[in-house]
């Protein structure tokens, strides 16, 4: 597929899929493209997994952690699961090891969290 001029460093092969972007790809996009390739699918058939949301409780606080690439998602909280009860979490996330993190005090009663796109 290339050579420095001598045939000693050249190789023969075929390009299966080629994609070019004018922007950096997110981690989710890279994972989706890679996993589609493992299944014999091309770039146009790639799907991207939704980001995961993890919660860790410690010392009277809950820390929510989700991938840093999930920039188009909004962190929401609710005391119940009815559609009208969800509201945006007002605490801005920090970045730790490439992940978005939000730490807030634990409040009495149930609290649910989600990432909404």
One domain, residues 33 and 83: no
Q: Of 50, 69, 87, which residue sits at a domain end?
A: 50
Q: Of 50, 68, 88, which residue sits at a domain end?
A: 50
One domain, residues 63 and 29: no
One domain, residues 59 and 46: no
pLDDT score at 79: 93
Give the whole-number percent of the chain exceeding pLDDT 90: 44
One domain, residues 32 and 58: no
One domain, residues 44 and 59: no
What's the CA gap between 93 and 104, in Å, rounded?
11
pLDDT score at 4: 61
Domain count across the chain: 2
One domain, residues 64 and 111: yes
Q: Is 35 exposed, middle or buried (0-12, 13-18, 19+ CB in 10 A)?
A: middle
Of 58 and 43, the structure prediction assigns the larger pLDDT to 58
One domain, residues 29 and 76: no
| Domain with 101 in it | 54-116
One domain, residues 42 and 63: no
Which candidate, 60, 62, 49, 40, places its Cα nearest to that of 111?
A: 62
The pLDDT tens digits of the residues spanning 53-101 come to 999 999 999 999 998 888 778 999 999 998 889 999 999 999 999 899 9
One domain, residues 105 and 68: yes
One domain, residues 31 and 77: no
């Amino acid at each position: 597929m290339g050579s420095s001029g001598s045939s000693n460093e050249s190789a023969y092969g075929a390009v299966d899929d080629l994609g070019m972007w004018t922007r950096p790809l997110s981690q989710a996009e890279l994972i989706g493209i890679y996993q589609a390739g493992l299944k014999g699918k091309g770039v146009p058939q790639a799907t991207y997994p939704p980001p995961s949301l993890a919660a860790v409780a410690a010392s009277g606080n809950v820390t929510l952690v989700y991938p840093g690439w999930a920039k188009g998602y909004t962190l929401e909280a609710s005391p119940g699961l009815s559609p009208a009860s969800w509201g945006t979490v007002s605490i801005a996330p920090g970045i730790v090891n490439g992940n978005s993190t939000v730490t807030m005090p634990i409040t009495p009663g149930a609290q649910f969290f989600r990432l909404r796109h």
